[in-house]
Homo-oligomer: A and B are copies of this chain.
């Protein structure tokens, strides 16, 4: 990965995440990255290639998260770590995740849930803890975390911090006060 190729990806990610894929021209990406427009096509064939390159990274990251969760032995720890996910994203990665969430609305690039593995892990965990409806419990928690993630990506982490401890309390994970 050359320096300029990386800069193209950085600029594309930033602009796509801020304004949407269709609203950003290859010209603007080139300018933002201080690179000739032609270079984009040398490296990524076409505009869509740029987007696909960004999506590949996302799949890797999701798999990393899954791997991290699945090595936990205690089901309580799986649930706790899952709740922690949106609160441990580094703000420098917000653009990256924002783009992934935006793409979920685009049928062309929406992949029917890569997160399913993680949901299964949660279901198992709730099952081990003898919850009555582990599948539904997992979906409910997943929904909350998805929605909290969206909130954080849209207006920062501060407004959502309270939810973290509240949820942990709800799932009887021992920690400090709310």
Contacts and interface: CB of A to CB of B under 8 A. Distances in A.
Decide if the interface of chain A is mainly helix, strand, loop or mixed: helix
Contacts of A133: 166, 178
A136 interface: yes
Contact of A106 (B20, B150, B170, B178): B20
A18 B107 contact: yes
Contact of A144 (B23, B144, B166, B170): B144
Interface stretch (A50-58, A97-105, A121-129): A97-105
Contacts of A144: 140, 143-144, 147
Contacts of A2: none
Interface string A104-133: 111100101000000000000000000001
A139 B163 contact: yes
Interface residues of A, number: 37
Interface string A1-38: 00000000000000000111111000000000000000
B140 A167 contact: yes
A149 to B, nearest CB: 10
A136 B163 contact: yes
9 contacts: A20-B21, A101-B105, A104-B150, A105-B154, A110-B154, A136-B162, A143-B151, A144-B147, A146-B150
Given A105-B154, A140-B163, 6 more contacts: A20-B22, A102-B105, A135-B162, A136-B162, A136-B166, A144-B144
